[in-house]
Amino acid sequence: MIQGLSALSALGQSLSAGAGQAPTPSSGGLSFEEALGQAIGSAVGALQAGEAAAIQGVEGAASPMKVVESVMEAQRSLQSMLAIRDKVVSAYQEIARMSI
pTM of structure: 0.62
Q: Does the pLDDT value for residue 19 go beyond 50?
A: no
Contact 5, 40 (CB under 8 A): yes
Contact 57, 67 (CB under 8 A): yes
Distance in angstroms (rounded) separating the CA atoms of residues 43 and 35: 12
Q: Which helix (H) or strand (E) holds 55?
A: helix 32-59
Q: At what angle do helices 32-59 and 2-17 cross, to 10 degrees?
A: 150
Indicate whether 20 belongs to any domain. Answer: no
The predicted pLDDT at position 44 comes to 93
Tens of pLDDT, residues 42-89: 999 999 999 999 999 999 998 999 999 999 999 999 999 999 999 999
Q: What percent of the chain has pLDDT over 70?
A: 72
Indicate whether 7 belongs to any domain. Answer: no
Indicate whether 51 belongs to any domain. Answer: yes
Provide the number of structural domains found in the chain. Answer: 1
